[in-house]
Chain A
Amino acid sequence: MFRLVPRKEPNRAMLYATPFLAVALTIVAGFLLFGALGKDPLHALFLIFLKPLTDFNSLAEMLVKATPLVLIATGLAIGFRAGVWNIGAEGQFTIGAITGGSVALAAYPDGGPLLLPLMAVAGALGGMAWAAIPAFLRTRFNASEILVSLMLVYVATLLLSFLVHGALRDPEGFNFPESRLFQEDAHVPALIPDTRAHIGFLVALFAVAAAYVYLERLILGFQVKVLGQAPRAARFAGYSEKRIVWTCFMISGALAGVAGLFEAAGPVGQLVPSLPVGYGFTAIIVAFLGRLHPVGILFAGLLMALTYIGGETAQIEMSLPSATTSVFQGMLLFFLLATDVLVNFRVARTAKPLATPSGAAPKLKPAE
């Protein structure tokens, strides 16, 4: 049989190589998968990983998808570093869209230069409020934040549905469960003219830079890392676990909320029940693929956006199943975690029952 033995000092180079290795393994597995489906694997992989890079519009779409992924993953990564497992970013994303979008709808049809910043703040506050629930339950009652935050996702999704069927429904919308289209001033300005890429991406870049400074230069970020790696050492140093847990939830909630608002006020332009499409969950993959490091997350977010766009192209052009993108993302996380395990552990064979008779000792080399 086999068992896993921890390595004393994981190879640093391998630690950074695993994301690339995971991508490579995903491509190999995808190759086999498409082959088994009877599709041309080379063409499929070309469509998924390379075609989007050759087309200007696809590149802009990549930024659209990468924006929420990077925003959310950056916040989550800070929490994950502290051992705070906020799995419910999808819910915080949805609530952020609701609160931010409500500001626009409340002001309708008025606008002004302050409207969008106000919406962003409202979105962030909404995400924070939603994240405050698991934060409170964990710090007060020691409830698992994994379960609480995850289940609140479904509450948030249903809340959105409830609101667009009722209070926020477009009065001139023929009873469709949608809000009004936001007024002009409530739209996130485009980053690249005539594409859907919006300035939310710049905000994401700023979040990445800020998270980098937070984690590498601030004592607050240091406290986060200490709590995640050695909770007893955090107590020894006198860092308050409660405060760190709250901070992590507030940061990740705010970023997820803002991401939700950008999605509603950007590419979608209104509140619809189908607004949450899983960015909050995919962002978990992005955070780990990026090694919980802000800069890594930026690249991982772009890669993940690529699989979204490429997956869609492949679905259309080769009539592949719509699950293709999910399968690819799942494989990516699987291979990443698997290679991670092998970097931190080595596989050892457990001792086999002794075959040699006890008298016949193996010949040993005499020492010189």
Chain B
Amino acid sequence: MTGTPILELRNITKTFPGVVANEDVSFSVGRGEIHALLGENGAGKSTLVKMIYGIQKPDSGEMTFMGEAFAPSKPSEARQKGVGMVFQHFCLFEALTVYENIALGLSAAEAKTGDLRQRIIDVSTTYGLKVDPDRLVGTLSVGERQRIEIVRCLLSEPKLLIMDEPTSVLTPQEVNVLFETLRRLASEGCSILYISHKLEEIRALCSKATVLRGGKLVGSCDPRRETAKSLAEMMIGATLNRPVRDLPEPGEIRLKVQELSMESDEQFGVDLENVTMAVRAGEILGIAGVAGNGQTELMEALIGERPCRFSRQIQLDGADIGQAGPRERRALGMCFAPEERLGHAAVPGMALWENTLLSAGRTNDLARRGLISPTNANRFALRVVDDLKVKTAGVKSAARSLSGGNLQKFIMGREIMQRPKVLIASQPTWGVDAGAAATIHRILLDLAREGAAVVIISQDLDELFTISTRISVIAGGYLFPSQPTGELTVESLGLAMGGRSKEIEAAKRADEAVAEPAHV
């Protein structure tokens, strides 16, 4: 099916001030091929596809598309030639219908050809992408919104479709539907450039993979013939030791949340409904869920940024702390690592050593009687940087100057090194490279082994299956009862994550029927 390549890149180099994003990258995508672009965060995948889609220009090197020289200077030019792209973050207007959103995204010429509504219906039925043109986008799920973006791309009959981390927002079931669509497109001759760092997906979907590391081409392979481990090692350029979950029998209940309901104070926030959970010493509870289902609100309630209605709604080692503020909870041995690093877990403009004061001030003697001790704070920050191998010019660098993954390592280190009794972390390895993710997982397991109760809120099911002892799902602000990881499958979790209202209702009824919290 391949023959002449549809897209060929030769010696592409792109530098930004201070960093080389791509260096001398050459590869080609065959006709009808599903081609994976694989690499860690910061390996240069995004920059590369932005150049193909005309958002950025290469400093040197050349591209050919369908045998012709290809140097798009803007996305519309790339689209005209037959390149479509589905971004990780959608740009849709919630208050408009599907039809209106699609019409807005097309050029005048594209929009005029034929009856657009009929074409939307045709394309969506042909490829199994169910969308109703007259629904308001605001009422659609994330998966449905992604379909709109794909339909929009397909309307212009692309020869090459670029997909940037398309599955990060989907449930496992939705991922399967997407893969079928992509396979079908490929069988009709449309090439697909698929960007991801989820190795299992790539093994299931792609016939060829190009691996980038530090902006350079490491090699290419047939992912179907590799293992996830060998792919990961190509990506990080080192052997990878996955942490093993060998936790002892759980001990006493350390953290208990009972019937916690809380209305969101954000306009589009999610209200927490009757959240109940218990985590024992030595346990890691994973909370799975699609983004925007109450994770942020749950984290805020656990940190104590918003007090509970009743103090007994959250208990630490049997003591009621539902109305205690973050500082009191920290003093009792809780630590928190929220999802948003810049602006929530860290102050962007402040130095790393200053950022230790946010949460570790008391535990590490960084301030005494209201007086900051720069010496102690610097020493603590240095220890975090050394232990977690944070790449930074020094502890006097501003938090903002660190890459996302490195800042995440710093924040995780700051919390973990306080040796908390209870640690609550949201997306602990989001954007972190595979090597560092393994380190963070190992530290979390160590912490549990030493008797801490750990709660991990994450959208990465691989992560949850690797380290959690039990997993529950949050959907629409409701937390499903947890089950031991061994008894769960990705499919069963996926159904709950989809937030089927019927199941939530059923589970809620079951909850109400049982007077005691059912899943302690």
Interface residue ranges, A against B (CB under 8 Å): 8-9, 217-220, 222, 225-226, 229-230, 232-233, 235-238, 240, 351, 354, 356, 358, 361-362, 364-367
CA distance A218 to B369 in the complex (A): 9
* B60–A364 CB distance below 8 A: yes
Beta-carbon contacts under 8 Å, B39-73 to A:
58-62, 69-71, 73
8 example contacts (A-B, Cβ-Cβ < 8 A) are as follows A222-B357, A225-B347, A230-B344, A236-B345, A237-B359, A364-B61, A364-B62, A366-B11
Choice from A222, A236, A237, A365 contacting B372 with Cβ under 8 Å: A222
Contact: A236 with B326, CB < 8 Å?
A: yes
| With A361-B69, A361-B71, A364-B60 as contacts: A229 and B371 at CB distance below 8 Å | no
Stretch at the interface among B169-177, B273-281, B348-356, B383-391: B348-356
Q: Report the bound CA distance from A9 to B19 in whole Å.
A: 14
The distance in angstroms between the C-alpha atoms of A219 and B357, with both chains bound, is 9
Q: Are A366 and B60 in contact (CB under 8 A)?
A: yes
Given known A219-B372, A230-B347, contact A236–B358 (CB-CB < 8 A): yes
Q: How far is the CB of B371 from chain A (nearest CB, A)?
A: 6
The minimal Cβ–Cβ distance linking B407 to chain A, given in whole angstroms, is: 13
Chain A residues in 8 Å Cβ range of B262? none
Asked if A232 and B343 make an inter-chain contact with CB atoms under 8 angstroms apart, the answer reads yes
The CA-CA distance from A358 to B78 in the complex, in Å, is 10
Query: Given contacts A9-B400, A358-B77, A364-B62, is CB(A217)–CB(B371) below 8 Å?
Result: yes
Which B residues lie within 8 Å of A240 (CB)?
Answer: 325
Tell me whether chain B's interface is mostly helix, strand or loop, or mixed.
mixed
C-alpha gap A364/B73 in the complex (Å): 13
> B347 contacts A229, CB within 8 Å?
yes
B contact residues around A230 at 8 Å (CB): 342-344, 346-348
B97 in contact (CB, < 8 A):
no
The 4 A-B pairs of least Cβ separation, nearest first, read: A238-B326, A238-B327, A361-B71, A367-B11
Q: Bound complex: CA of A124 vs CA of B15, how far in Å?
A: 57
Given A9-B400, A238-B330, answer yes or no on A364-B71 (Cβ-Cβ < 8 Å): yes
**A237 to chain B: which residues have CB within 8 Å?**
326-327, 357-359
Residue of A nearest to B81 (CB): A358
Residue of A with least CB distance to B303? A236
Contacts of B380 in A (CB 8 A): none
- Distance of B73 from chain A, by nearest CB (Å): 6
Q: Considering the chains assembled together, what is the distance between the CA atoms of A220 and B361 in angstroms?
A: 13
Greatest chain B CB density within 10 A among A218, A220, A238 is at: A238
Q: A218 near B370 (CB under 8 angstroms)? A: yes
Contact A222:B305 (CB < 8 A) given known A236-B336, A361-B70, A364-B61: no
- Bound CA span A229–B24, Å: 40
B74 contacts A351, CB within 8 Å?
yes
Contact residues, B288-305 vs A (CB, 8 A):
303-305
CB distance from B411 to the nearest CB of A (A): 10
Residues of B near A351 (CB, < 8 A) are 73-74
Q: Give the complex CA separation of A230 and B348 in angstroms.
A: 8
User: Cα distance A24–B438 when bound, in Å?
Assistant: 55
With A219-B357, A351-B74 already in contact, the answer to whether A229 and B60 are too (CB < 8 A) is: no
- Is B398 part of the binding interface, using a Cβ–Cβ cutoff of 8 Å? yes
Min CB distance A359 to B, Å, is 8
Chain A contacts for B303, CB-based, 8 A = 236
Given contacts A237-B326, A238-B304, A361-B71, contact A219 B359 (CB under 8 A): no
Asked if A233 contacts B358 (CB within 8 A), the reply is: yes
Q: Is the CB of A236 within 8 A of B370?
A: no
B residues 400-451 near A (Cβ < 8 Å) are 400-401
B358 proximity list for chain A (CB < 8 A)? 226, 233, 236-237
Measured in the bound complex, the distance between the Cα atoms of B16 and A9 in whole Å is 14
**Contact B370–A219 (Cβ < 8 Å):** yes
Q: Are B60 and A367 within 8 A (Cβ)?
A: yes
Q: Which residue of A lies closest to B338 (CB)?
A: A236
Q: Are A233 and B398 in contact (CB under 8 A)?
A: no
Say how far B58's CB is from chain A's closest CB, in angstroms. 7
- The docked-state distance in angstroms from the alpha carbon of A312 to that of B77 is 63
Given contacts A236-B344, A366-B60, contact A229 B370 (CB under 8 A): no
Q: How far is the CB of B379 from chain A (nearest CB, A)?
A: 17
**Are B371 and A218 in contact (CB-based, < 8 A)?**
yes
- Does A225 contact B350, Cβ atoms closer than 8 Å? yes
Question: In the complex where A238-B325, A364-B71 touch, is A233 in contact with B60 (Cβ < 8 A)?
Answer: no
Q: Which residues of B contact A364 (CB under 8 A)?
A: 58, 60-62, 71
